[in-house]
Amino acid sequence: MSRRSVSGFADIDERFAVRLKFAVPPDGLGTLLSDIDVWLKAEVGSGRYGRTPARSRGSDAVAYHFLSLEDAGRFVASFNDLILCTPLK
């Protein structure tokens, strides 16, 4: 499996205006990860989203990046079991 370079992640951060960060449970996302990938391809479309690893208050997290708030909102509504990370203050 190939890995993206750090600069690839920076490109995603710059390209997409909306970023949502979700906590990853200790046992991982399991089959939900493939369900998310299928949904994103079908509902948002290639080139309109990205995913990067993230950290949140000492735990693992994953960030999903979107071009629009509408796409991000539909994602959250479809995967309401995911726990949004609160921003650090």
Across the chain, mean pLDDT equals 85
3-state secondary structure of 54: strand
Q: Per the structure block, which two tokens stand in for 31?
A: 């089959």
pLDDT of residue 45: 96
Domain 6-78 class?
Answer: alpha beta
pLDDT of residue 56: 66
Per-residue pLDDT at 4 exceeds 70? no
Q: What is the pLDDT of residue 32?
A: 95
pLDDT of 89: 45
* Residue of 27, 26, 32 lying closest to 64 (CA atoms): 32
Domain residue ranges in the chain: 6-78
Q: What is the pTM of this model?
A: 0.81
